[in-house]
């Protein structure tokens, strides 16, 4: 029996492309919970938003967080709702205005 493929959200794909343009930091969680490790890393390194933090829990699991002016968010939430974050508007590529054919640029 053939399995139906899961539909990919265009909005999430667009958000993923935008997050790829943001600086990314990799760290290990150690004894702390992943979100606590991310907060401690932000405080110790003085990271300014926007940034993506990839926290490795163990050899198989990683958690992704987005550091914004408003706080720390799960990266999946930000991918789906990237338009809610003003700091991502400056990073996102702006659509080019099309010039009519025959018009001088």
Question: What is the percentage of the chain residues whose pLDDT exceeds 70?
Answer: 85
Asked, for residue 95, whether it belongs to a domain, the answer is no
Does 74 map to a domain? yes
Q: Give me the domain span that covers residue 36.
A: 10-87
Asked whether residue 97 is domain-assigned, the answer is no
Q: How many domains does the chain have?
A: 1
Give the pLDDT band (50/70/90) at residue 11: confident
* 29-41 tens-digit pLDDT: 989 999 999 999 9
Q: Which tens digit of pLDDT belongs to each residue from 52-78?
A: 999 999 999 999 999 999 899 999 999
Question: CB-based contacts of 8: which residues, under 8 Å, 6+ apart?
Answer: none
50: preceding bond cis by omega (within 30 degrees): yes
Give a yes or no: residue 5 inside a domain.
no
> Is 53 buried (19+), middle (13-18) or exposed (0-12) by CB count in 10 A?
buried
Residue 73 lies in a domain: yes
């Amino acid at each position: 029996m053939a399995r139906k493929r899961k539909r990919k959200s265009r909005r999430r794909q667009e958000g993923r492309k935008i997050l790829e343009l943001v600086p990314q930091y990799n760290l290990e969680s150690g004894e702390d919970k992943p979100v606590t490790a991310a907060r401690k890393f932000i405080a110790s390194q003085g990271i300014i938003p926007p940034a993506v933090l990839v926290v490795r829990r163990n050899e198989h699991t990683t958690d992704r967080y987005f550091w914004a002016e408003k706080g720390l968010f799960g990266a999946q939430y930000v991918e789906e709702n990237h338009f809610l974050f003003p700091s991502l508007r400056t990073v996102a590529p702006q659509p080019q205005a099309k010039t009519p054919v025959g018009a001088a640029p």
